[in-house]
Chain A
Amino acid sequence: GQQVMQIPQYQHVQEGEDFTTYCNSSTTLSNIQWYKQRPGGHPVFLIQLVKSGEVKKQKRLTFQFGEAKKNSSLHITATQTTDVGTYFCAGLTPGLSFGAGTTVTVRA
């Protein structure tokens, strides 16, 4: 079963709106990685967070690592149709363990 929990499982967003997906672990993570998988594709690395409380931005995407290094979030502003896909967080447990993912659909 999943050792890294991710919510929500599905996110239906109106184009232009913001949304956030959350990742939680019962154990402290040395780092957390985020990946995006487009429909029919394979997961593609987005970013890695290492430090407690770390915040990183990639254009409209903001990634945050919790102070206790047990949770993380991905916030997307002004959602576009290109944001469609499944977003996974992953932490070492050992071996890189992936959350179940948040599948994002966008209404134009």
Chain B
Amino acid sequence: KAGVTQTPRYLIKTRGQQVTLSCSPISGHRSVSWYQQTPGQGLQFLFEYFSETQRNKGNFPGRFSGRQFSNSRSEMNVSTLELGDSALYLCASSLAGVSPLHFGNGTRLTVT
């Protein structure tokens, strides 16, 4: 069974730009969660989608948004990038929200 796939693996953007990250969950998994990982803040929960609906949302500004498609694939968008958005963005899928999470390898975003 293929694991969680995130694309791209690396991104370099400049301040003010926007970025879209993609996540393909494990086949059969309907829940997709997004996390931001930085050395200082650890793993911060962004949001969770289940069957195309946002079910939970973390404490991030509205510049961070996401969506889930009917095939459970998910995208995360960050608009008006700031230097502080530089981080590893991890996507995780699960059968249901409380099930164990299966993480992808992440997208390393650098904002200059």
Contacts and interface: CB of A to CB of B under 8 A. Distances in A.
Nearest to B104: A42
B42 A92 contact: no
Choose among A35, A42, A44, A100 the residue with the greatest number of B CB atoms under 10 Å from its CB.
A42
Interface in B34-59: 35, 42-45, 47-48, 56-58
Contact of B100 (A30, A33, A88): A33
B33 A44 contact: no
A95 B103 contact: no
Contacts of B90: 42-43
B98 interface: yes
B105 interface: yes
Interface string B71-112: 000000000000000000010100001101111111000000
Nearest to B56: A95
B56 A98 contact: no
A96 B45 contact: yes
Contacts of B102: 45
Contacts of B47: 95
Contacts of A48: 100
Contacts of A101: 42-43
Interface string A75-108: 0000000000000101010111111110000000
Contacts of A92: 97-98
A2 B42 contact: yes
Interface in A35-59: 35, 41-45, 48
B33 to A, nearest CB: 7
Interface string A1-26: 01000000000000000000000000
26 contacts: A33-B101, A42-B90, A42-B103, A42-B104, A42-B105, A42-B106, A43-B92, A43-B103, A44-B103, A45-B100, A45-B101, A45-B102, A90-B101, A92-B97, A92-B98, A95-B33, A95-B47, A95-B56, A95-B57, A96-B48, A96-B97, A98-B43, A98-B45, A99-B42, A100-B42, A101-B43
